Amino acid sequence: MFRYWENVHHQYRMGLYDEMEFEKQKIAWDEYINANERTAEYWCSVRHMFSPMFAAELDSLLKNPPGNGNQCNAR
């Protein structure tokens, strides 16, 4: 799922998704990643395998990230 989202993020940056489409994607990401603590923990454990720009975008959606601050702890 995260790999698909990264592709959407890339396509948006390349101009292949308009602003409204991308905002709807981000709403879905937000709902999914914040649905339960385990999903956020899993994201934090695999985020190093994704582009820094995408990781930052997803990190910004975390409402209760594992660890401190508004991002995952460095792994």
- 54-65 pLDDT, tens digit per residue, is 999 999 999 988
Give tens-digit pLDDT for 1-56: 999 999 999 999 999 999 999 999 999 999 999 999 999 999 999 999 999 999 99
Residue 50 near residue 6 (C-beta atoms within 8 A): yes
CA–CA distance, 15 with 5 (Å, rounded to integer): 15
CA–CA distance, 14 with 11 (Å, rounded to integer): 5
What pLDDT, on the 0 to 100 scale, is given for residue 52?
97
Question: pTM of the full predicted structure?
Answer: 0.85
Measure Cα distances from 22 to 41, 43, 59, 74 in Å. 24, 20, 16, 27
Domain locations in the chain as residue ranges: 2-59
CA–CA distance, 18 with 67 (Å, rounded to integer): 34
